[in-house]
Chains A and B, each alone.
Chain A
């Protein structure tokens, strides 16, 4: 039992961090960023390059991932999303663009980093073992703690910094924020950069445990979509809740339904659909997001 909860918490922490970036971008610009998973993969490969190939300390790699992805995010917003949003008649129009960017990043990652699975050496050795009731490798604990720290840091930043407040105002009511003198273009760009950076940071953190390969992008995006649906799209607390709930569902589902094997994920996904049918706006979302 302890093990199942610990697994769920660890999964939840990493999921929540992935979902945060996606939900931030969605709340600011109403863009469902299909390329979020690819940004996560890119972050993983950047850390891999710095740590495994250039032999630099892990923290340097992690920072590099954050910086590279923030720059990528800012550029993508300024040169791609902004003009398209301005000109497109329906707001869903950005979906094709987002998918195009996802394919583009996939292609770049394949050409630059290759098709193989990559990983970096463990950053901490050893396994925490409480009588086999709770087994958790130290590096997992460390990554879990770092992920939670990043989440807390992000919340504080959004809550108390000037930029954070501006972004929240923007998310709440774009027009009102604009009238109040918030530079919409500037904060949209910062928001997108921040969202992409979060994806990069998760990639950098997880490359030490799960490694990275170019195939992880698409499925990661879809998982992140599910989390923000559970919690409510565009709501930060919802993304965190969604991440932890999905993590717990997987952890518990895999243990309880192990005997029925093949249907574990069928049950998880189907119950998600039922849940949304009853509560269309997720746990904390605005109705009709």
Chain B
């Protein structure tokens, strides 16, 4: 009995402390921005870097007096919902956002979740920024989703082309986890490689997400002797293991992926074997990062103990929402106004040096501007850090 009452009181006090701590002392009116994504379970890393980027940026904005949209200065509050990577939960999350009167939501992180929340978002007038690639989300008649990053079918061809021209790559092999997102990325990557005239020597090998030993997975792939091994849609957890297994099996060619990776994780998991690994990054390579980006990384690190390089890309969605609202304050209550503003919107990109611009793109891929323009930075890994290989733009 004692133990039970102890448990109850612990739970109660935890609930109470949370309830009280969430009562923020806001002098400004509050602008709520939503986040629906996965922050627990196996894919926690994806959503966590997302949510933390938003929290960091919001705290920073509020500390410096808030964000002025039209005549009003707002404090930014991030309302987040953990969908556990379950599309059914993601719908509940989107409903919750609608309930809170939120019109701008970042997430979900995966294909099925992004597709599942579409009806809710459209019924309730919510613009959402998924990190998922299905084209039907962004092409008409859909108009409420804005791709928050560079899609694999955009970065892949750019990387293959570069490696064809500079490294003489001729034969390419693909391996992917047997889940929706990686398989879709593998298929589009393989098609793009063929279109470029590369010989695809293997694109059928898959692995379970829980694989603990990648040697048997890679053995048949490497027997086809590719010049380039593409790890399609590889999760940050699996990338170092795949690289390590490939190198230990004696593979000497190039390895690349179209997803963002974390340098620390690669260093810990594969060490110097990961040198030369090519991945897509955000804008925080030393040459590109502005002072604002460096301060963001500092603040993030202070707030959460450790930075995550995936956040280089994920810092942008919130910035786009706020800047677009500044350009047209009517968007706060009316997403149609937001949509019309998007077409001509342009603002300086605070996270990059030089005169880079924040603007919406996607005409080539989607026929309408439903993608944030982040620089397509392609990195190579060297001794624990990323070096910029090349930078490109998506239109």
Chain A positions near chain B (C-beta within 8 angstroms): 3-4, 7-8, 10-11, 14, 52, 79, 106-107, 110, 114-122, 127, 129, 132, 135, 137, 140, 206, 209-211, 213-216, 218-220, 222-223, 250-251, 254-255, 258-262, 264-265
Contact = CB atoms under 8 A, between A and B. Distances in A.
Nearest to B47: A115
A120 B268 contact: yes
B184 to A, nearest CB: 12
Chain B interface bracket (under 10, 10 to 19, 20 to 34, 35 or more) = 35 or more
Given A117-B236, A259-B204, A127 B248 contact: yes
B268 A119 contact: yes
Contacts of B202: 258
B240 interface: yes
Contacts of B308: 116
B40 interface: yes
B260 to A, nearest CB: 13
B159 to A, nearest CB: 22
The 3 closest A-B pairs by CB, nearest first: A215-B42, A261-B204, A219-B210
A128 B268 CA distance: 22
B45 to A, nearest CB: 5
Given A127-B248, A254-B216, A261-B204, A211 B268 contact: yes
16 contacts: A8-B216, A10-B213, A107-B40, A110-B40, A114-B305, A115-B45, A135-B248, A211-B268, A215-B41, A215-B237, A216-B237, A254-B207, A254-B217, A260-B204, A261-B203, A265-B178
B134 interface: no
Contact of B241 (A3, A11, A211): A211
A84 B114 CA distance: 41
B265 interface: yes
A7 B213 contact: yes
Nearest to A221: B210
Nearest to A3: B219
Nearest to A115: B44
Given A79-B3, A119-B240, A215-B237, A250 B216 contact: yes
Interface string B180-214: 00010000000000000000001111111110110
Interface string B45-83: 100100000000000000000000000000000000000
Contacts of B208: 219, 265
Interface string B227-266: 0000000001100110000001110000000000010110
A114 B306 contact: yes
A11 B216 contact: yes
A62 B203 CA distance: 39
- Interface residues of B: mostly helix, strand, loop or mixed? mixed
Most buried by B among A8, A115, A265: A115
Given A14-B213, A118-B268, 20 more contacts: A7-B219, A79-B3, A106-B40, A107-B40, A114-B305, A116-B45, A117-B237, A117-B240, A118-B265, A135-B250, A137-B248, A140-B215, A211-B241, A213-B237, A214-B42, A216-B42, A218-B42, A254-B220, A262-B183, A264-B206
B269 interface: yes
Contacts of A3: 219
B31 interface: no
A121 B271 contact: yes
Contacts, number: 129
A41 B48 CA distance: 19
B221 interface: yes
A219 B44 contact: no
A132 B248 contact: no
Interface string B274-296: 00000000000000000000000
Most buried by A among B202, B249, B271: B249
Contacts of A52: 268
A255 B269 contact: no
B248 A14 contact: no
A83 B48 CA distance: 37
A261 B182 CA distance: 14
Contacts of B212: 11, 14, 206, 210, 216, 220
B237 A255 contact: no
B333 interface: no
Nearest to A214: B44
A114 B48 CA distance: 9
A173 B217 CA distance: 43
A221 to B, nearest CB: 10
A262 B210 contact: no
A213 B216 CA distance: 21
B43 interface: yes
B150 to A, nearest CB: 22
Nearest to B239: A117
Given A10-B213, A135-B249, A254-B217, A261 B205 contact: yes
Nearest to B215: A7
Contacts of B210: 216, 219-220, 222-223
B269 A117 contact: yes
B273 to A, nearest CB: 9
Contacts of B268: 52, 117-121, 211
Contacts of A220: 210, 212
Given A135-B249, A259-B204, A213 B209 contact: no
Nearest to B310: A116
A116 B271 contact: no
A262 B248 contact: no
B220 to A, nearest CB: 3
Contacts of B203: 261
B216 to A, nearest CB: 4
Given A79-B3, A117-B265, A220-B210, A258 B221 contact: yes
Which of B41, B248, B250, B265 has the most chain A CB atoms inside 10 A of its CB?
A: B248
Contact of A110 (B44, B215, B217, B237): B44
B219 to A, nearest CB: 6
Contact of B237 (A4, A79, A209, A211): A211
Contacts of B248: 127, 135, 137
A4 B236 CA distance: 27
